[in-house]
């Protein structure tokens, strides 16, 4: 992960988006799958948001979620979240391109 400079973020205001593997505003930053399991959450998901200077803090464009099962681990969650990302991201891109 790399945080962009304020100059870049401000220059491209509302033009940069990020896909993040959590249901923001929960679990900003790294190790989201591990953190959601450690917290005993029942749901996990993915968020697509506009990039701002705040880490994973920009306005949310879309989210999708899954139920966490008793058999889930970091790797299984990672795979399931990636499947959500692969479905949600193209929909968001298409929607934004039409605006």
Which tens digit of pLDDT belongs to each residue from 66-97? 999 999 999 999 999 999 999 999 999 999 99
pLDDT in tens, 3-57: 899 999 999 999 999 999 999 999 999 999 999 999 999 999 999 999 999 999 9
DSSP string, 84-98: HHHHHHHHHHHHHHH
How much is the pLDDT for 3? 83
Query: Is the per-residue pLDDT at 2 higher than 90?
Result: no
- 20 catalytically annotated: yes
Q: Check: CB of residue 10 under 8 Å from CB of residue 16.
A: no
pLDDT of residue 1 exceeding 80, the answer is no
pTM for the predicted model, two decimal places: 0.93
Catalytic residue among 11, 13, 20, 86: 20
Q: Name 44's bridge partners.
A: 66
């Amino acid at each position: 992960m790399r945080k962009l400079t304020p100059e870049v973020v401000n220059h491209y205001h509302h033009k940069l988006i990020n896909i993040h593997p959590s249901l923001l505003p929960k679990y900003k930053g790294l190790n989201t799958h591990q953190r959601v399991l450690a917290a005993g959450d029942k749901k996990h998901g993915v968020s697509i948001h506009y990039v701002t200077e705040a880490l994973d803090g920009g306005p949310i464009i879309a989210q999708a979620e899954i139920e966490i099962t008793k058999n889930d681990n970091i790797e299984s969650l990672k795979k399931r979240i990636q499947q959500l990302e692969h479905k949600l991201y193209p929909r968001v891109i298409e929607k934004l391109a039409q605006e």
